[in-house]
Amino acid sequence: MKTMITGNEAAAWGARLARVKVVSAYPITPQTKVVEKIAEFIANGEMDARYIRVESEHSAMAACISAENTGVRTFTATSAHGLALMHEMLMWAAYARLPIVMAVINRAMAPPWSIWADHQDSMAQRDTGWIQIYSESNQEELDAVLMLYKICEDKDVLLPAMTMMDAFILSHTMEPVDIPDQKLVDDFLPELDLPHRLDINRPAGHGSLIMPEGPVMEYRKAMADAFAGVRDKILKVEEEFREIFGREYGGLVEEYRTEDADAIAVVSSTIASTSKEVVDRMRERGLKVGLARVRYFRPFPHRELREIAKKTDMLGVIDRSYTFGYGGALYAETKGVLYGHSDIPVKNYIMGIGGRDVTPEILEKVFMDMLKIAKDGAVDTEVEWVGLIGDERWSA
Amino acid sequence: MIEIRFHGRGGQGAVIASQLLAMAAFKEGKYVVSFPYYGVERRGAPVTAFTRISDRPIRIKSQIYEPDYVIVMDTGLMSQVDVLKGLKPDGWVLLNTTKRPEELGVTGRKAATVDATGIAIKHGLGSKAAPIVNTAIIGAFARLSGLVSIESVVDVLLKKSPAAPEKNAAAAKDAYEALVFYER
């Protein structure tokens, strides 16, 4: 059924169609509508789930962890400060190998207060052991929730995942979305069978103290190994999804007009969507630009980016966050995996912080800058902030 | 691609108007997107919302700066908000008013007016002090733009109105008939 819904509603529909059994969440703008919609589904009897109300996001994740421990599928959603407050519990969920799925509506961190889109909140959680995917449309958001349960619950994976969408740009934007038939989803997504679930008939203790000589390090290595296998699961699940639902998204990195490109933008989320339009406009004028949309940031698509670097003369990495180390996270990690594999120039563009609008006009200026670097063979500035107030160079 | 910008006040239903218009165009097989400029949406505060309508999938995710149409649901806003900002030279402005456009300072522009407030009050939508004019204004917009048929608008209002679907549909039909065109 194709209908008009917002990104927040798409995430809620994903949870409903996945037959999630427990939802625990605390409201925060711009996530609120996700949990409101789920509460409505449950109240109307359209979703057979338990909604656990809590006093904070830390408790919301704790409730999901406890529920998931018993072997039932759980879901939550949050944004920005709510996600930051969850930090401790995020690691607990991942290290306990619980395949929880969470929608994160990307919102800037304060101060100053900003409720609009940037990726600082989720990028700050990149080392918690969660799979991360960034959506560019409401359809992709709904489909990602369904695919993530299948990926995460695989016995070789058993890891949690967060699916990101940009605040307001998707969360409050209404687009046509194909809501799949429940029966098709049921065929695609089997019931959760958590091997280490708590079971009174098989008494066991989890998460107790282990001395340095004990297998803590081995647990971490097993988790790292599981993460290394996620890439292939993503590709396999996406193929199954395509066969059943007829939609595909390009795996970990979606390539758009990268063939014979002089310069390729490496970018995620809704900026990638707008960039595709810009790429088409520039290609019409004979300007050879392309785009690599990083969908999965965890696991990091190192193989894909190394292959993409072989196809072009430079990469322009657009980040909607900043690490306060060196550049944005996507830039730093892209450069890291290219070291020893590629010598092409890589430049970082910091854009859209605090919801600053990223227009086709400003993106075209970025692509023109990239083409110049491709021609010169060297970057002028390694990390550049684009679209600052009063900066004539980038004003549209 | 056609881009439409709505100006209203919190409580008038500008965001819902942008969504209902998108739904009507969607029903006719168009690609559509509807989104608010999410700000401080208190009752009475200026609110901006947008609709894009296209024959192709819409990938641009930025705001609208050069609309083809501007819809002003409360002309009292015009003293604080430059509602004509960026409007394409050939673009239309639709005003909810009983006045002529030039009385509101709109000259040299393709303009149309409709008394959406009067129509909303007549149909008992909202209160006399705070009528909800969004459904009437969409009916008028259907006539002005020809982008969607009044039948599609009525159909969407009957199915999707949060309350009083018949009254909303009747208001849209009245406004469709009552529209006044002013070439520049």
In this predicted model, what pLDDT tens digit does every residue of A113-136 receive, in sequence order? 999 999 999 999 999 999 999 999
Confidence of residue B40 (pLDDT cuts 50, 70, 90): low
CA-closest candidate to residue A81, choices A26, A144, A22: A26
Nearest Cα of chain A lies from the Cα of B124 at a distance, in angstroms, of 28
Q: Average pLDDT for residues B14-21, to the nearest whole number?
A: 95
Instruction: Name the residue facing B32 among A172, A176, A270 (closest C-beta).
Output: A176
Confidence of residue B45 (pLDDT cuts 50, 70, 90): confident
Residue A396 confidence (pLDDT): 61
- Angstrom distance (rounded) from CA A21 to CA A86: 21
pLDDT digits (tens, 9 = 90+) for A144-164: 999 999 999 999 999 999 999
Q: Which residues of B touch A271 (CB under 8 A)?
A: 61
- What distance, in Å, lies between the first and last C-alpha atoms of chain A? 39
Residues spanned by the domain of B86? 2-182
Question: 10 Å Cβ neighbour count for A304?
Answer: 21
φ, ψ for residue A51 (rounded to 5)? -105, 115
CB contact under 8 A, B23 and A4: yes
Residue B161 confidence (pLDDT): 87
Tell me if chain B has a CB within 8 Å of the CB of A360.
yes
Residue B12 confidence (pLDDT): 86
CB contact under 8 A, A359 and B34: no
Contact in structure between B133 and B73 (CB atoms under 8 Å): yes
CB contact under 8 A, A274 and B36: no
Task: Please tell me the least confidently modeled range out of A46-55, B148-157, B159-168.
Answer: B159-168
Tell me if chain B has a CB within 8 Å of the CB of A277.
yes
Residue B183 confidence (pLDDT): 75
Surface-to-core class of residue A187, CB atoms within 10 Å of its CB (0-12 exposed, 13-18 middle, 19+ buried): exposed
- Angstrom distance (rounded) from CA A143 to CA A137: 10
Instruction: Name the residue facing A174 among B22, B31, B61 (closest C-beta).
Output: B22
Is the pLDDT assigned to residue B184 strictly greater than 70? no
Strand A161-166 versus strand A253-256 pairing type: unpaired
Contact in structure between A99 and A68 (CB atoms under 8 Å): yes
Summary mean pLDDT of chain B: 94
Contact in structure between A292 and A266 (CB atoms under 8 Å): yes
Q: Provide the 8-state DSSP code for B24.
A: H
Residue A16 confidence (pLDDT): 98
Tell me if chain B has a CB within 8 Å of the CB of A358.
yes
- Angstrom distance (rounded) from CA A373 to CA A347: 9
- Angstrom distance (rounded) from CA B43 to CA B12: 8
Contact in structure between A73 and A43 (CB atoms under 8 Å): no
CB contact under 8 A, B62 and A166: no
CATH number at B174 reads 3.40.920.10
Stated pTM of the model: 0.96
Which residues of B touch chain A, with CB atoms under 8 Å apart? Answer: 19, 22-23, 26, 31-36, 38, 58-63, 65
Segments in chain A below pLDDT 50: none
Question: 10 Å Cβ neighbour count for A143?
Answer: 24
Task: Please give the residue of chain B at the shortest CA–CA distance from A271.
Answer: B61
Q: How many domains does chain B have?
A: 1
Is the pLDDT assigned to residue B11 strictly greater than 90? no
Is the pLDDT assigned to residue B42 strictly greater than 80? no
Nearest Cα of chain B lies from the Cα of A262 at a distance, in angstroms, of 23
Can you tell me whether residue B31 is helix, strand or coil?
Answer: strand
- Angstrom distance (rounded) from CA A104 to CA A117: 11
Q: What is the C-alpha R_g of chain A?
A: 21
Domains, in order of start, for chain A: 2-245 (3.40.50.970), 253-394 (3.40.50.920)
CB contact under 8 A, A175 and B19: no
Nearest Cα of chain B lies from the Cα of A359 at a distance, in angstroms, of 5
Provide the CA B4 distance to its chain's centre, in angstroms: 8
Summary mean pLDDT of chain A: 97
CB contact under 8 A, B59 and A274: yes
Contact in structure between A97 and A23 (CB atoms under 8 Å): no
Residue B41 confidence (pLDDT): 63
CB contact under 8 A, B31 and A176: yes
pLDDT digits (tens, 9 = 90+) for A306-351: 999 999 999 999 999 999 999 999 999 999 999 999 999 999 999 9
